[in-house]
A and B are shown apart, each in its own frame.
Chain A
């Protein structure tokens, strides 16, 4: 008897006992549903962290050089004090790195602060995230304008009073009017001419990325962010992610020389990459990925036991049928296969339903939360495989019982 005949036979049997079959496969259904949902959400969070969070904060393939960490869970006041006494980063540091780096890279400086913007009519918008940057900043961060233009090297060099607004800021200041060419005053004082509006960025943990304004680093904007010549951070982006570590080493060497550090002295600056920011998330993910197979495992073990019981009952009920099959020429292995295929088909069906429900559940999570539900197709294969595997294992004992029946005894059964 071929596998296909076996599956057809199994489906007929499953369909004939719809209710019993449903209870049989519900355990595996829950197990695989759980697997698919959790994997979707974890993968979704992972993508969110890698693509949105990490890229927004640190940028892809980007090294961030700072005086002190941008995010820190340290609360030792002495440590904070020592960070405060470190030398500030300056435009000259960025230029030195640009000179000495042997790896092709984009380099930019960025300094940020919060401030208030005001339009010509006196309308004020507060809590705007203002940044003074060099033009490569836009390329490193993959920012582009929705309208107007970005500023270039010439405007950057002379510190032109031009400004690019975030989507939300532009809307708050000018409503439906075209903001290009209009004037905004930063901090209520310095006038800048709006030359562009950035593409919509969305938000990160509820914090809007569109309420911002970006102007050249050497323009009057710098007064609102830092003392003259000082920058918050220097960004270095390599085209090739494999060269990132090498670039980080070179940046470190340049900065140690510039700060005159002896080999025994620690760095008085920090070099951050997107991977660093991922370490916290990676820890959470590891915990999830250890905990969830355990939960899925419990569901599948329970599901397997239910299937084993159902198959045992089914085999006992069909002792006579098995006797008939043996009498008309079924071999032991045909009976074994029939029960195994039936068991595997039952749990495979459960796994399939579980996958469908799991995907729907992940879509619901996606709809009600900012997490994108991502599911690599391999997980569907894994869930189906695990489901069928559970069926085969659960079917082994009932199948061997069925196959070892004596045809004479089986034919006499009621």
Chain B
């Protein structure tokens, strides 16, 4: 297996008034291709900061970060935008779809920024919506969709550019338990297809789907557990139900 993510001594500090908040105090982390990782920890543990750094939304104060073999800690804003566009697929707790746009337009948005021609964008967005089971909801706006369907649109948008990692921040935080289970089964299926997935969550039920649980406390990794039991609780099949 090849490395997708490697961080060495990753630190993030920021000023909050007169105080310096040390959100991350040296994180060393290696995530291989096709891993399924849950990042856990109480609020204030630094897991959001770590997610922002992994997702190239932010740059570390110090330390190194290689994404897909390339150092990305000290990139320009434009280069980071390109990496976010090509290598990272974000899934948010609040879905973050454009409210006035159709499912199709939401899904093709990353391809617009990638500079693809309209026709190709359309084709790929249609195919991706089909893959997440929303082939019949192309022209619906988010308001016309259920929470689970919205999150599926968001997942389709995250995957449209074949990112190296799918980065989900509390992806089921706004969903009921049945729908949450549906979404997690979709994640399981994507993982089986070879997708590298990182889920940030504070819910053990969600983390259980992952094959590896990383726990953060006070800006450092306090536990890193690989488990085989996850596969037992999430049997294969019917993932896109």
Contact = CB atoms under 8 A, between A and B. Distances in A.
B81 A12 contact: no
Given A408-B58, A411-B57, A329 B84 contact: yes
Nearest to B157: A328
Interface stretch (A73-81, A195-203, A217-225, A330-338): A330-338
- Closest 9 pairs between A and B when the two form their complex, measured CB to CB: A329-B85, A329-B113, A331-B81, A324-B96, A328-B110, A407-B57, A16-B100, A327-B90, A331-B78
A13 B114 CA distance: 21
Interface string A12-25: 11001000000000
Interface string B90-115: 10100011101100000001101111
Nearest to B83: A329
Contacts, number: 66
B57 A329 contact: no
A47 interface: no
Contact of B100 (A12, A326, A332): A12
B164 to A, nearest CB: 13
B114 A329 contact: yes
Contacts of A330: 81, 85, 113
A95 interface: no
A408 B52 contact: yes
A334 B112 CA distance: 10
Interface string A378-409: 00000000000000000000000000001110
Given A321-B98, A411-B92, A328 B113 contact: yes
What range describes how many residues of B lie at the interface?
A: 20 to 34
Contacts of B85: 328-330
27 contacts: A1-B112, A1-B115, A2-B115, A13-B100, A16-B100, A320-B96, A325-B113, A326-B57, A326-B84, A327-B90, A328-B84, A328-B90, A329-B82, A329-B86, A329-B110, A329-B161, A330-B85, A330-B113, A331-B82, A331-B113, A332-B78, A333-B78, A334-B113, A408-B57, A408-B58, A411-B57, A411-B96
A148 B72 CA distance: 95
Given A324-B92, A328-B109, A332-B77, 4 more contacts: A320-B96, A327-B57, A330-B81, A331-B78
A51 interface: no
A178 B157 CA distance: 86
Nearest to A1: B112
A5 interface: yes
A329 B161 CA distance: 10
B112 A332 contact: no
Contact of B112 (A5, A408, A411): A5
A16 B100 CA distance: 8
Nearest to B55: A327
Among A320, A329, A331, A332, chain B packs the most CB atoms within 10 A around the CB of A329
Contacts of B78: 331-333
Nearest to B79: A331
A324 B100 CA distance: 14
A401 B101 CA distance: 23
Interface residues of A, number: 24
B98 A324 contact: yes
A330 B57 CA distance: 12
B212 to A, nearest CB: 24
Contacts of B77: 331-332
B105 to A, nearest CB: 9
**What secondary structure prevails in chain A residues at the interface with B?**
helix
Nearest to A410: B57
A111 B77 CA distance: 85
A16 B161 CA distance: 28
Contacts of A324: 92, 96-98
Contacts of A334: 81, 113
A337 to B, nearest CB: 11
A4 to B, nearest CB: 9
A16 B97 CA distance: 16
Nearest to A335: B81
Contacts of B157: 328
Among A321, A323, A328, A411, chain B packs the most CB atoms within 10 A around the CB of A328
B77 to A, nearest CB: 6
A102 B103 CA distance: 83
Contacts of A332: 77-78, 81
Interface string B168-209: 000000000000000000000000000000000000000000
A2 B82 CA distance: 16
Nearest to A324: B96
A334 B77 CA distance: 12
Interface in B99-145: 100-101, 109-110, 112-115
Nearest to B161: A329
Contacts of B97: 324
B169 to A, nearest CB: 9
Interface string A118-146: 00000000000000000000000000000
Nearest to B158: A328
A408 B109 CA distance: 19
A326 B85 CA distance: 9
Nearest to B90: A327
Nearest to B117: A2
A320 B78 CA distance: 19
A328 B81 CA distance: 8
Interface string B27-65: 000000000000000000000000010010110000000
Contacts of B110: 328-329
Nearest to A318: B98
Among B52, B57, B85, B158, chain A packs the most CB atoms within 10 A around the CB of B57
Contact of B81 (A2, A13, A321, A329): A329
A57 B202 CA distance: 93
Contacts of A325: 109, 113
Contact of A327 (B82, B84, B115): B84
A16 B99 CA distance: 11
B150 to A, nearest CB: 13
